[in-house]
Amino acid sequence: MAPDNDAGRRQFLKIAGGAAVTASVAGCFGDDGGDGGDGTPDDGGDGTPTGGDTGSPTAAGDGEDETATDGDGGSGGGTLVYARGSHSPTLDFQNSTSGEVAKVTEQMYDSLLGFEPGEATLVAELATEWNLEEQTATLTLREGATFHNGEEFTAEDFIATFRRFVDTEYQYYAGDDYVSAYGPFTFGDWVEDISTDDDYTLTISLTQKYAPFLRNLAIFAASIHSKAAIEDESIDLSSQPVGTGPFQLENLDDSNEVIRLSAFEEYWGEGPQIGEVVFDTIGQNSTRAQSLANGEVDIVDGLGAQASQQVDDAGSAELREVEGINTGYMAFNFNVEEFQSKQVRQAISYAVDTEAIVNQIYAGFASQAAQPVPPNVLGHNEELEPYPRDLEQAQSLLEEAGYGDGFSFELATFQNPRGYNPSPLPTAETVRSNLAEIGIEVSINQMSFSPFLEYTASGQHDACFLGWYTDNADPDNFLYVLLHPQVEDSALTEGQDWVSFDTEGYNTSNRAAWANRDFMQLVEEGQATYDEATRREKYTEANAIAREEAPWVFIDHAKELRGVRNRVENYTVAAIGGPYLNLVTLGG
């Protein structure tokens, strides 16, 4: 597909206006996914990256594929059934930040770059060579990759996909109420223009040095739609995906919460090795684990303690446990008057028994959190300790804040298990019981995941449970994405460390509505340098501010748990990207 102008086969795109931030569905908040974004998908890591792998000059410099297999598409046989706790509310990666969406779209779409399964190393997907220097990224694109509609992939498809996501002046812009919060923080806030000399080159000019940029190109929300599909008004990409990935949509059954994919025989890369993938929704952890033990499904996620034991006891399957790169938390909504007091937020942090939640409810499959960035990610502050349970200190802080007699608030939570919170109702009940001891009354509002995400994205909650799986193993993916308001300085009120959810351009992934200037400056400075030591220093300090200011109750960093049937071969549990089901084979 050639560029459609006559200026010497050169397409130049100047991004006009600001990008929309409103998210109709927000969250690799999703587990089991980039609450995103639930970022992505939570396929736990076989080789968790060290801090040196994230945001390093190597990660942001030259790269070319040494492992991709061109033209090896083609399936073997058999059907793999992947069971999870929640259905995907959309099949358009630009319409959600949920990990449940990412699990499915990652099978049907490719991005320019990807991650080595189980590692944080960038590898080629639809770009074969790449470089980031100062404020310019250059990429050579893959020739011979074909969309499921038969169209050949070119630079024009990336440009159309980009514009659909962030360019409000574009004829096919998906709409402020449709696009997720991934658009601005992945692309829109950083890209000044895009140019191409031919079908297979891209030059992307940035507004500033932006260290996470190449890694952002590898996340699920940076996947690439067909330009022809974007421009075809008869195609609804939320239910009719058109990608270049190893599988294509066979059937979407929303009523039964089942999605069936079939092998794409013209896939450019390795695999697929199986004929079909079925994503099945089984809400109860124990039922999902029993289905695995009975041989009815092949892979299960979202496992709690009891379900993990069921899998461990099954002779026909095994429990795979690896370190995750995620964080689970309870966000305070700063638009609630009581939560505008740091003393109140700290008091609640001292009162909530996160150690008991982690060790008893989560049964040791997680570690206590003291900060937003998990271990093994650049900038994790080793000197920070979790808030200890101290009711005397909590009561003293409440009295200091003028709430010695307590108050009441609503805690919003989801019904289905997430990896960072496999037992949401018992966790909420523990919080309620803990806070009753210092005179705070908590009412629990539990709802299914998609309505919960919409409810909290619009700021209707007082406090809420959420969590995040890394999209790219960069600290920016936690600190900027989850705790920076991403609004113009003029929208910030002097002397106030919060903003309203209806502020123009507000980042709804920041469920706390927190706007701490010192924190924001450090995060912005960390983005704008490629020096790893400087980035580590900035993020370490930013984490310390977050711990002190307590916009969240920091709960846990969870291990990744998967139940895998014995017949499944070549399946890598991966903390970033995936699941890589194109590589899976099925034995007897």
> Residues 218-235: pLDDT tens digits?
999 999 999 999 999 999
Q: Is 151:228 a contact under the CB 8 Å cutoff?
A: yes
Residue 238 lies in a domain: no
Task: Return phi, psi of residue 423, to 5°.
Answer: -135, 75
Q: Is 584:80 a contact under the CB 8 Å cutoff?
A: yes
Task: Give the contacts of 376 (CB within 8 A, at least 6 positions apart).
Answer: 48, 49, 50, 51, 323, 325
To the question of pTM greater than 0.85 for the whole model, the response is: no
Give how many domains the chain has, as a whole number.
3
Q: What confidence category does residue 189 fall into, taking pLDDT thresholds of 50, 70 and 90?
A: confident
Task: Give the contacts of 309 (CB within 8 A, at least 6 positions apart).
Answer: none
Q: Are residues 344 and 196 in the same domain?
A: no
Q: Are residues 426 and 356 in the same domain?
A: yes
Position 275 pLDDT exceeds 80: yes
Residue 3 lies in a domain: no
Omega within 30 of 0 (cis) for the link into 579: yes
Q: Is 401:336 a contact under the CB 8 Å cutoff?
A: no
Position 333 pLDDT exceeds 70: yes
Q: Are residues 462 and 354 in the same domain?
A: yes
Question: How much is the pLDDT for 418?
Answer: 84
Instruction: Show which of 182, 206, 231 is a domain's final residue.
Output: 231
Per-residue pLDDT, averaged over 135-160, amounts to: 98
| CATH code, 556 | 3.10.105.10
Q: What confidence category does residue 74 fall into, taking pLDDT thresholds of 50, 70 and 90?
A: low
Burial class of 149 by CB neighbour count within 10 A (0 to 12, 13 to 18, 19+): middle
Q: Are residues 358 and 477 in the same domain?
A: yes
Residue 450 lies in a domain: yes
Angle CA(35)–CA(88)–CA(38) in degrees, nearest 5? 5
CA atoms of 70 and 246, how far apart (whole Å): 12
Question: How much is the pLDDT for 383?
Answer: 98
Q: Are residues 340 and 311 in the same domain?
A: no
Q: Are residues 404 and 538 in the same domain?
A: yes
Pick from 565, 563, 572, 558: nearest CA to 586: 565
Q: Are residues 172 and 310 in the same domain?
A: no
Residue 49 lies in a domain: yes
Q: What confidence category does residue 57 fall into, taking pLDDT thresholds of 50, 70 and 90?
A: very low
Q: Are residues 251 and 379 in the same domain?
A: no
Q: Is 242:559 a contact under the CB 8 Å cutoff?
A: no
Q: What confidence category does residue 20 fall into, taking pLDDT thresholds of 50, 70 and 90?
A: very low
Q: Are residues 214 and 332 in the same domain?
A: no
Question: How much is the pLDDT for 75?
Answer: 56
Q: Are residues 393 and 458 in the same domain?
A: yes
- 382-393, pLDDT tens digit by residue? 999 999 999 999
Position 39 pLDDT exceeds 60: no
Q: What confidence category does residue 153 fall into, taking pLDDT thresholds of 50, 70 and 90?
A: very high
Residue 240 lies in a domain: no
Q: Are residues 410 and 366 in the same domain?
A: yes
Q: Are residues 287 and 152 in the same domain?
A: no
What is the average pLDDT value for the chain, to the nearest integer? 88
Residue 455 lies in a domain: yes
| CATH code, 308 | 3.40.190.10
Question: How much is the pLDDT for 6?
Answer: 32
SS3 content of the chain, % helix, strand, coil (to 5): 30, 20, 50
Position 184 pLDDT exceeds 70: yes
Share of the chain above pLDDT 70, in %: 87
Question: How much is the pLDDT for 76?
Answer: 64
Range of the domain at 118: 11-71+93-231
In 425-541, where do the E strands start and end?
441-447, 463-469
Residue 497 lies in a domain: yes
Residue 100 lies in a domain: yes
